[in-house]
Amino acid sequence: MTIAVTNLRVEDKLYQNRYLVDPGRPHIKVRPHESPSANLRALTHICPAKCYELNDKGQVEITADGCMECGTCRILCESNGEIEWNYPRGGFGVLFKFG
């Protein structure tokens, strides 16, 4: 038996969190590419904040506003230059109330 997961929207989960977004200064960027590598494509499923998505040309795009700064995408895709990863400026980004 598998357990049905109904109405699961990550956006609703992220809505609980506190963020201080730094407008116009995304801390993660995806390098332009023709078609994404396996790791880059995996991020569209495994980023816990669902920041990565495929556009209609099959390329991976990021909207880093809900990012929890976990570092998973950095571990998978920074070393070969597929993404550029920095911490947000001091004080910005996710602000855990409980952690």
Judged by the rule CB under 8 A, the positions of this chain that interact with another protein are 1-5, 8, 10, 13-14, 16-17, 20, 38-39, 42, 45-46, 48-50, 68-72, 74-76, 78-79, 85-91, 93-99
Structure tokens at 84: 């550029």
Q: How far is the CB of 49 from ligand SF4 (least distance, A)?
A: 4
* Contact positions vs ligand SF4 (CB under 6 A): 28, 47-49, 51, 64, 67-73
Task: Give the β-pairing of 52-54 and 28-30.
Answer: unpaired
Q: Which option in another protein, ligand SF4, none does residue 28 bind, with CB closer than 5 to 8 A by kind?
A: ligand SF4
For the stretch 52-64, what's the b/e string if a residue is b when 16 or more beta carbons lie within 10 angstroms of its beta carbon? beeeeeebbebeb
Q: How far is the CB of 63 from another protein (least distance, A)?
A: 16
Distance of alpha carbon 66 from alpha carbon 86, whole angstroms: 15
